[in-house]
Amino acid sequence: MSPLSSTGRRITTSILEKSNDYAGPTPTCASYVRLVRPLRARKKGLCHPPIEDFDRLVQAAEDLDDMEGIEEIRAAVQNGQETFPLEFVEALIDTDSRLREWRKFRGMSQAKLGEAAELSQAAVTQIETGKRKPNIDTARKLADALQCDIDDLF
């Protein structure tokens, strides 16, 4: 009996075959016997690979996750979902005013945003600087004007 279950062989084979970094032949049961050595001092059925092989398998699994994520993103973009540049996302993370970052990203002045959200420029300035908290209706108007969700702003 192989030290790796049939499910483990299928998962590992899938990871290795889909990984761009794996250039070897399709793994066979014999290669797993060489790759995975059973721990004799532990419970029967447990095994561990050499650390280099383990690291390679972990990297292959992470690469597979990344490849699957890329396909989801491509499908979303093809369906018309908006994408954002890295600089904008980083600015959202680092800022003290996400409202300001969204306004700048949309290319709007405070006056233009105020007009679109039926607010004064002074009100927009106060909300951006944190001197005023918007009520839910105001937050909804700002989000609609900036074409985003309320949660993206506050």
Render pLDDT for 67-95 as a digit per residue (tens, 0 to 9): 888 888 888 889 988 889 999 999 999 99
The structure tokens listed for 104 are 């700048």
Render pLDDT for 114-144 as a digit per residue (tens, 0 to 9): 999 999 999 999 999 999 999 999 999 999 9
Please report the pLDDT score of residue 36 as a whole number: 44
* Mean of pLDDT values over 46-67: 81
Q: Considering only the top CATH level, what class is 86-153?
A: mainly alpha
Greater confidence, 100 or 21? 100
pTM exceeding the 0.85 threshold for the entire prediction: no
CA-based radius of gyration for the chain: 26
Please report the pLDDT score of residue 11 as a whole number: 52
Residue ranges, CATH 1.10.260.40, the chain: 86-153
Q: Is 140 left (phi over 0), alpha (psi -120 to 50) or beta?
A: alpha
Please report the pLDDT score of residue 47 as a whole number: 62
Neighbours of 27 (CB within 10 A): 17
Render pLDDT for 10-48 as a digit per residue (tens, 0 to 9): 555 555 555 445 455 554 444 444 444 444 444 555 566
The structure tokens listed for 54 are 């383990």
